Chain A
Amino acid sequence: NAGVTQTPKFRVLKTGQSMTLLCAQDMNHEYMYWYRQDPGMGLRLIHYSVGEGTTAKGEVPDGYNVSRLKKQNFLLGLESAAPSQTSVYFCASSTGTSGRNTDTQYFGPGTRLTVL
């Protein structure tokens, strides 16, 4: 049981390049999330999904797109990377069945992205 996995672990991009981060979970969780963590700060929600085929904007969605074509996967895309998107990206998942405030989110190991 791998839990939440993220690919790749590290990536360096040039400004204007595009890339996709992949998140996969094997816990049959309904909800999935993408966060970013900047130095000295906690995590901030980028986008989330409450089920296969659904996505919604979080706190800092600009410059990112997401897709949830399969229940176990949640993709985060950067169409034209900018230096301000240099960050550590975390994916998380949760069951979504126990009520929002009790729904514990479990995190992947993170992807460290640098945009030059």
Chain B
Amino acid sequence: AQKITQTQPGMFVQEKEAVTLDCTYDTSDQSYGLFWYKQPSSGEMIFLIYQGSYDEQNATEGRYSLNFQKARKSANLVISASQLGDSAMYFCAMREDSSYKLIFGSGTRLLVRP
């Protein structure tokens, strides 16, 4: 069954340091996409980064990169040079090619300390 697991309910990071948010997934499909969204305290869901199952290189978007390890079924988000504005909930999500829906994990709350 398709499932997303985020094992870190909350994390702290010092400003300007890097942080890794964990995400593992379970699917029987060969073709799927992995997404990370940020949800600040204001509540909106902001798309950060995407990784396709057939992409050979890890995705990067500015300070965000996705550490994709297909054999381990993990898609960890790495935020470099953390900023205070990075404090938020972060959700990992997956969409199988055979489905229209995004499956979300339970999220990780990140707090950046000054």
Bound complex: CA A112 to CA B53 (Å):
34
Q: Looking at the complex, which one of B37, B96, B104, B107 makes contact with A101 (CB distance below 8 Å)?
A: B96
With both chains docked as a complex, state the minimum distance between the C-beta of A112 and any C-beta of chain B, in angstroms: 8
What B residues does A110 contact at CB under 8 A? 43-45
Q: Does A78 belong to the interface (CB within 8 Å)?
A: no
User: Does the CB pair A50–B96 fall under 8 Å?
Assistant: no
Bound complex: CA A112 to CA B35 (Å):
24
Indicate whether A101 sits within 8 Å of B106 (C-beta atoms), given known contacts A88-B43, A107-B44. no
- Give the interface size class of chain B: 20 to 34
Q: Looking at the complex, which one of B44, B99, B106 makes contact with A100 (CB distance below 8 Å)?
A: B99
User: Does the CB pair B50–A42 fall under 8 Å?
Assistant: no
Indicate whether A99 sits within 8 Å of B100 (C-beta atoms), given known contacts A42-B106, A109-B43. no
User: Does the CB pair B106–A58 fall under 8 Å?
Assistant: no
Q: Does A64 belong to the interface (CB within 8 Å)?
A: no
Q: Does A31 belong to the interface (CB within 8 Å)?
A: yes
Q: Does B69 belong to the interface (CB within 8 Å)?
A: no
Q: Does B91 belong to the interface (CB within 8 Å)?
A: yes
Q: Looking at the complex, which one of A45, A90, A106, A109 makes contact with B101 (CB distance below 8 Å)?
A: A45
Q: Does B31 belong to the interface (CB within 8 Å)?
A: yes
Q: Does B111 belong to the interface (CB within 8 Å)?
A: no
Top 9 nearest A-B pairs (CB, nearest first) are A42-B104, A101-B33, A107-B45, A45-B101, A101-B97, A109-B44, A43-B104, A110-B43, A101-B32
Q: List 24 A-B contacts (CB under 8 A).
A: A33-B101, A40-B106, A42-B104, A42-B105, A43-B45, A43-B93, A43-B104, A56-B100, A58-B100, A59-B101, A90-B45, A92-B45, A100-B33, A101-B33, A101-B53, A102-B33, A105-B35, A105-B102, A106-B47, A107-B46, A109-B44, A110-B44, A110-B45, A112-B43
A residues at B contact (CB < 8 Å)? 31, 33, 35, 40-45, 48, 50, 56, 58-59, 88, 90, 92, 99-110, 112
